[in-house]
Amino acid sequence: MSSERTLIRVDISIDQPWAIGAAPDLQYRPADRDGDDDGPVRLPVQRDRLGRCLLPATSLVGGLKDHLGESAGRSWLGSGDGDSTVPSELRCLAATIIGAPTTPARITTTAIDPVRRAAKAHTLRSEEVLEPGVVIWWLEWDHHDRSLILDELIAELSKWRPVVGRRRSANRGRGHVTAVHYRTFDLTDETDLTWWLAERPAFEWRAETRLNAPEWKTRNGSDAATAGELLLKCPFRVEDALHIGGAGVRFDNDHREIRCSAGALAGTSWRGVFRHRVEHIVRVTDGDQSAVGRLFGTGRAAGASENAGQRGQLRFGDSVVNGATRTRTHVAIDRISGGAAQLSGEDPLDDKGLLFTLDYFGAGATLDLIIYNDSDDAVSEEDRRLLTQVLRDIDEGVIGVGGMTSRGYGTLKCCGEKWWGR
């Protein structure tokens, strides 16, 4: 075994909201009359024993291996394929979130019924999301394989654009490496050995922003993470009203509760609209059923291997809405009587109509739909035609986006030139 050790610190900037999911918290909900027991699911982030948000190093290793490529990835990070097991030359140490929060933001979403185009029963769920931030990741190389060249690894690390966490197809968790710091220690040298044994453990957790030269060498990373291969950009204008749920509530001067509208339509919302519509199109036209999985991915079936799922080609960006919000009051309708629903209490005098007020963006507000191609393969002409048909259906008001579409909200009109990329 070599007497030399190289300690590497990778400074990563995560440029979009992100989350490393923990086990879902299934909240009990009594079954309805149809026997459906799909209660809401809370999706928390991973935390350490002190309650701080956590990024396991294992969440970074796979992305780095993909970035290095098959041969380089096997050399540096090893392989466990059958009989050809190759040990890793790198030790992947702790990943630390700078200023790790204990209270991440929470986003509430719901699935949409593709037939009614309204919220699907018992699908309300909330998830925790971390804001963009900085991660420090430590690696160690023991120089066992002298054929590996440290400078080549450092160069590749500096160009790496990691993607961490869940909902990557909705543009979450994309980042870039801002700097790579490294230092080689000779453990036969008394000074280096003393530092390695006495100071290194605490040093790795301090995550200093600057490391002293000339002992430490630094290679700067790339600029902010690029969005990827742009496939489609289409500007839309709100025709009547657009409400984007999940933003909580506020109160007016009369202490009335108002359901807030988020300022951006999430990539997950766009993805849901497009997926449901593509499924409908290929079903009614007897088209290529595999297009859905190819474009949007497939989940892992119960009992299947962990690698059984498929990641889709498309990634949808968040769409910031340009325009001022207004308020509008609605009343819930009784499905039997057709009149205003009533909330009955024990005392008839306590009865009151189910009025609610919400924020919305009015006619004239604008937003851009942005779709990226995350695959090395170009999107086929047939799949482009499917996406074009969905755009046409949105433009003609056949389908809406956002919340309250069953009440006429979410009608958009294309208001400029569509730009198609690869």
Highest mean pLDDT among 124-128, 189-193, 256-260, 402-406: 189-193
Q: Is the pLDDT of residue 81 over 90?
A: no
Band the pLDDT of 108: cuts 50, 70, 90. confident
- Which residues contact residue 132 at a Cβ distance below 8 angstroms, ignoring those fewer than 6 apart? 13, 14, 15, 16, 17, 18
Q: Which residues pair with 92 in a beta bridge?
A: 139
pLDDT score for 240:
92
> Hey, is 52 helix, strand or coil?
coil
Cβ proximity of 136 and 207 under 8 Å: yes
For the chain, how many residues are written? 422
Q: How large is the angle between the packed helices 150-159 and 58-68, nearest 10 degrees?
A: 110
Kindly state the DSSP code that residue 48 receives in the 8-state scheme: -
Q: Whole-number mean pLDDT of the chain?
A: 81
- 28-32, 189-193, 330-334, 369-373: which has the minimum mean pLDDT? 28-32
> Hey, is 257 helix, strand or coil?
strand
Distance of CA 236 to the CA centre of its chain: 23
* Domain positions in the chain: 4-220, 229-420
Its pTM stands at 0.72
